[in-house]
């Protein structure tokens, strides 16, 4: 089903024919069957590859698909060892460049520095379903444990090629709804990574109602495989809890009554395309599409998980982050150690008072070594030009969310007029653009601290070891 049967069959037919061609010239059949993968790859890169490219490419990828897991590693190693750049040529190209620094010398140098496997991968792509198989090949590469120099070199080649092939210009956005063929829908069930879809009935509730939308990017060569998809709820207010969005019994509205589009789940589908960015384009395109279709929409927000929060909080409680938590905060947070803490209303009140300012700090002041937010989802949306709009205490009580984030969810706001400015604040200064309400959560804490007042609950921090609360450190 991966391509129109006409196309597939035809290619298949050429391939079968080609395989015959390939070996019909061989001296003996034994030799033919013994041709190893490395030889086939060399043949594909040679002149012979021009005449029988599809046949060779298909043969190689078919054999590769049949390899054991260990052997696929050996294959990758073989690509690394034997299909790097030609060092003699590269040295000559460097000498040439050093001598004359002409543009021709640059061109030659660039060409000589390109590992031969890049052209090999391009020719492997001639095969039927070649692209899908090359994506799988990178998926196996990514699955290797040790991130060696070899791994990095091979991955750089895949990333370079996939970056060209999966250029946003070649992607098409398609709505996913209840008229979509079943074999694509079952992939939506399979790939949903944020809020699991339990089965077809739940899928129907997410796709069929008038106030629900779903969109996916597809690539022409992977026509049946969504690359990334987003699920959208059309609402009349910004939801703070996922329950309100997914509840079976919720009241549906007509699409043109909606004022707010809520992006409540974004899932990447192809492991083998990790790091080839589509999500940022997807959201902007969907925003535009919805705006055009539903003129009543005013707000475009996410309802997002906070996958790194619990881990960070554990570190804070362990005293490995600065500033240290106050003793009072430490004490309150002991409540979290009871798996059933959430059932008590008083627990919830106490925890909220301490947790929310810490959450604000998690987003606003904590940074990675690259001066980026520590939360991966925050990195994505803030780097994409969104604003951190609202923190929602206990927005998601599912076991997964309780474990990852003590139930915390957040809304990111996509306001078209501010996207570029927000993006640059992050990109250039590492600054998180947040709504006043989120900033107040943090300030309030600071002020209470400075005032030294007795409100223990809101005194989340014991002391400031350094002054770096603001953004933009370098």
Residues labelled catalytic: 304, 381
Closest separation in Å from C-beta 380 to a copy of itself: 12
Closest approach of a copy of itself to the CB of residue 7, in Å: 6
State whether residue 262 is helix, strand or coil.
strand
Looking only at the bridges linking them, the beta strands covering 304-305 and 409-413 are: antiparallel
Q: Which of residues 168-187 bind a copy of itself (CB under 8 A)?
A: 168-170, 172-173, 178-183, 185-186
Rounded least distance, CB 364 to a copy of itself, Å: 21
Residues 422 to 451 in contact with a copy of itself, rule: CB under 8 A = 422-424, 427-428
Phi, psi angle pair for 426, to nearest 5°: -75, -45
User: Interface with a copy of itself includes 153 (CB under 8 A)?
Assistant: yes
316-336 in b/e form (b: 16+ CB < 10 A) is bbeeebebbbbebbbebbebb
CB atoms closer than 10 angstroms to residue 198: 8
Tell me which residues in 188-217 interact with a copy of itself (CB under 8 A): 199-200, 204, 207-208
Closer to a copy of itself by Cβ: residue 203 or 333 = 203
- Please list every residue from 327 through 386 that binds a copy of itself, using CB under 8 A: 383-385
> Please, which of residues 1-20 interact with a copy of itself by CB under 8 A?
1, 4, 7, 9-11, 13-14, 17, 20
Find where tokens 């078209």 sit: 416
The helix (run of H) or strand (run of E) holding residue 29 is helix 29-34
Binding residues among 396-425 for a copy of itself as defined by CB under 8 A: 416-417, 419-424
Count, residues near a copy of itself per rule CB under 8 A: 98
Q: Give the SS3 label for residue 101.
A: coil
Residues 73-132 close enough to bind a copy of itself by CB under 8 A: 80, 84-85, 87, 90, 94, 97-98, 101-104, 106-107, 109-111, 113-115, 122, 125-127, 130-131
Asked if omega into 184 is within 30° of 0 (cis), the reply is no
- Residues 101, 107, 110: CA angle, nearest 5 degrees: 105
Question: Between residues 206 and 449, which has the closer beta carbon with respect to a copy of itself?
Answer: 206
For residue 250, what is the DSSP state? Answer: P
**Closest approach of Cβ 126 to a copy of itself, in Å?**
5
Binding to a copy of itself, residues 271-310 (CB under 8 A): 280-281, 284-285, 288-289, 291-292
Rule CB under 8 A: choose which of 19, 48, 116, 439 binds a copy of itself: 48
How far apart are alpha carbons 307 and 359 in whole angstroms?
12
- In the bound state with a copy of itself, the residue whose beta carbon lies nearer, of 140 and 160, is 160
Is there a contact between 214 and 177 (Cβ–Cβ < 8 Å)? yes
Least Å from the CB of residue 57 to a copy of itself: 8
User: Does residue 31 bind a copy of itself (CB under 8 A)?
Assistant: no
Q: Which is nearer to a copy of itself, 240 or 383 (by Cβ)?
A: 383
Name the residue nearer to a copy of itself (CB basis): 130 or 357.
Answer: 130
In whole angstroms, the minimum distance from the beta carbon of 281 to a copy of itself comes to: 7
What are the DSSP calls for 400-468, one per residue?
HHHHHHTT-EEEEE--GGGHHHHHHHHHHH-PPPB-HHHHHHHHHHHHHHHHT-S-GGG--BS--SSST
User: What is the footprint of a copy of itself within residues 230-259 (CB under 8 A)?
Assistant: none
CB 47 → a copy of itself: shortest distance, Å? Answer: 4
CA angle, corner 218, sides to 212 and 222, nearest 5?
140
Q: Which residue spans within 219-340 are E strands per DSSP?
A: 228-235, 260-268, 299-302, 304-305
Q: Which stretch binds a copy of itself (CB under 8 A): 28-36, 158-166, 297-305, 370-378?
A: 158-166
């Amino acid at each position: 089903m991966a391509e129109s049967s006409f196309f597939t069959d035809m290619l298949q037919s050429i391939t079968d024919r080609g395989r015959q061609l390939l070996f019909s010239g061989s001296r003996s059949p034994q030799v033919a069957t013994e041709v190893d993968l490395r030889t086939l790859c060399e043949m594909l890169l040679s002149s012979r590859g021009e005449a029988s490219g599809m046949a060779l490419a298909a043969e190689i990828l078919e054999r590769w698909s049949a390899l054991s897991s260990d052997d696929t590693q050996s294959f990758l190693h073989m690509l690394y060892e034997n299909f790097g750049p030609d060092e003699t040529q590269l040295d000559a190209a460097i000498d040439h460049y050093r001598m004359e620094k002409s543009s021709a010398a640059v061109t030659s140098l660039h060409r000589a520095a390109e590992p031969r496997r890049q052209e090999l991968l391009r020719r492997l792509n001639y095969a039927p379903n070649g692209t899908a198989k090359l994506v799988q090949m990178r998926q196996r590469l990514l699955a290797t444990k040790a991130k060696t120099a070899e791994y990095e070199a091979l991955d750089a080649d895949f990333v370079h090629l996939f970056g060209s092939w999966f250029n946003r210009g070649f992607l098409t956005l398609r709505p996913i709804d209840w008229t979509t063929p079943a074999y694509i829908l079952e992939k939506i069930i399979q790939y949903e990574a944020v809020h699991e879809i339990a089965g077809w009935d739940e899928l129907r509730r997410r796709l069929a109602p008038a106030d629900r939308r779903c969109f996916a990017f597809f690539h022409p060569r992977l026509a049946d495989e969504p690359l990334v998809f987003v699920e959208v709820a059309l609402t009349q207010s910004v939801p703070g809890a996922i329950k309100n969005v997914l509840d079976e019994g919720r009241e549906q509205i007509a699409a043109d009554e909606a004022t707010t589009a809520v992006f409540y789940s974004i899932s990447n589908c192809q492991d083998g395309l990790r790091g080839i960015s589509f999500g940022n384009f997807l959201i902007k395109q969907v925003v535009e599409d919805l705006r055009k279709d539903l003129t009543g929409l005013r707000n475009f927000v996410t309802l997002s998980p906070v996958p790194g929060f619990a881990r960070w909080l554990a570190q804070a409680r362990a005293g490995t982050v600065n500033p240290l938590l106050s003793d009072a905060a430490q004490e309150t947070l002991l409540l979290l150690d009871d798996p059933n803490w959430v059932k008590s209303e008083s627990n919830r009140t106490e925890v909220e008072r301490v947790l929310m300012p810490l959450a604000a700090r998690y987003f606003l002041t904590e940074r990675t070594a690259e001066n980026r937010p520590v939360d991966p989802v925050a990195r994505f949306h803030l780097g994409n030009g969104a604003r951190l709009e609202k923190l929602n205490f206990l927005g998601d009580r599912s076991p997964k969310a309780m474990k990852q984030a003590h139930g915390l969810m957040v809304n990111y706001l996509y306001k078209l007029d501010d996207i570029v400015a927000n993006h640059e604040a992050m990109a250039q200064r590492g600054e998180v653009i947040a709504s006043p309400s989120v900033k107040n959560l943090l300030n309030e804490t600071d002020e209470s601290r400075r005032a030294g007042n007795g409100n223990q609950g809101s005194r989340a921090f014991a002391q400031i070891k350094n002054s770096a609360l603001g953004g933009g450190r370098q």
